[in-house]
């Protein structure tokens, strides 16, 4: 089975621009979560989607948004980029997400650099 | 959401057993305890998950006392390739996963 894939792997943008990151979950997985990882803040939960609906949301500003398609693929968008948005953005998929017994499978991440 | 506390870093030598303890005083009845491993520039990887007592798989063992307010990840006979950050998480249904700061394990030759 193919793992979680994320595109692009690396991205360089300038302040004020917007960016869209893509995540393809493992086949059959319906839950997709997004995380931001920085040296200072560690791994922070952004949001989780299940069956095209956002089910959970972390404490990030409205500039961070996402969506999930009917095939469970997900995209994350960041508008009006700031220098502090430079981070590794990780996507994780799981079968359900609503169960307490859940293994998340992480993708390799997208390294975003904002200049 | 239950908060977890782990040591920031640990050092070990190849061949030794490593035990990393995590405290989660506010764990709820429905919460499971999960451990992940992360190498630099990679996504975290699931190691083990448990609810109570002891769970063992081919990679590690997880010990959870009766009060479930802490848990210990045990890595038998570590090697250099086990150098990584280890995260302890407490999962609750509804899936809003909170990662703590993790424990940076450094294995020396």
In this prediction, the residues of chain B whose per-residue pLDDT falls under 50 are: 94
- Closest residue of A to B93, CA-based? A100
Distance CA A5, CA A74 (A): 11
- The answer to whether the CB atoms of B43 and A101 lie below 8 A apart is no
- The string of pLDDT tens digits covering residues A95-111 is 875 555 568 899 999 99
Tokens of A94: 């799981």
- Would an 8 Å CB–CB cutoff place B106 in contact with chain A? no
- The string of pLDDT tens digits covering residues B20-37 is 999 998 888 888 899 999
* Residue of B32, B36, B43 best to disrupt the A interface, most CBs of A under 10 A: B43
Tokens of A107: 């993708």
How many percent of chain B have pLDDT more than 90?
A: 71
Instruction: Kindly list the residues from chain A whose CB atom is less than 8 angstroms away from the CB atom of residue B32.
Output: 100-101
- Would an 8 Å CB–CB cutoff place A72 in contact with chain B? no
- The string of pLDDT tens digits covering residues A4-46 is 999 999 999 999 999 999 999 999 999 999 999 998 888 898 9
A27 secondary structure, DSSP code:
T
pLDDT of residue A98: 54
- The string of pLDDT tens digits covering residues B49-59 is 999 999 999 99
- The answer to whether the CB atoms of B91 and A44 lie below 8 A apart is no
Distance CA B2, CA B14 (A): 33
Say if CB A34 and CB A96 are below 8 A apart: no
| Alpha-carbon distances of B14 from A14, B11, B48, B103, rounded to whole Å | 44, 10, 21, 17
pLDDT of residue A95: 85
């Amino acid at each position: 089975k193919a793992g979680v894939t994320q595109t692009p792997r690396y991205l360089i943008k300038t302040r004020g621009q917007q960016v869209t990151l893509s995540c393809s979950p493992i086949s059959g997985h319906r839950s997709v979560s997004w995380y931001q990882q920085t040296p200072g803040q560690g791994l922070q939960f952004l949001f989780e989607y299940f069956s095209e609906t956002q089910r959970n949301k972390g404490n990030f500003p409205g500039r961070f948004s996402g969506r999930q398609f009917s095939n469970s693929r997900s995209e994350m968008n960041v508008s009006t980029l700031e220098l502090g948005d430079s981070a590794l953005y990780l996507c994780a998929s799981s079968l359900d997400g609503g169960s307490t017994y859940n293994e998340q499978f992480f993708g390799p991440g997208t390294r975003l650099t904002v200049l | 959401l239950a908060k977890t506390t782990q040591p920031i870093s640990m050092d070990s030598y190849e061949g030794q057993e490593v035990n990393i303890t995590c405290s989660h005083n506010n764990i709820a009845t429905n919460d499971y305890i999960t451990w992940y491993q992360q190498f630099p520039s990679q996504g975290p990887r699931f190691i083990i998950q448990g609810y109570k007592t002891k769970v063992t798989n081919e990679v590690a063992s997880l010990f959870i006392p009766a009060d479930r307010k802490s848990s210990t990840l045990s890595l038998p006979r570590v090697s250099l390739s086990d150098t990584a950050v280890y995260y302890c998480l407490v999962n609750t249904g509804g899936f809003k996963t909170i990662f703590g700061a993790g424990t940076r394990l450094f294995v020396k030759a």
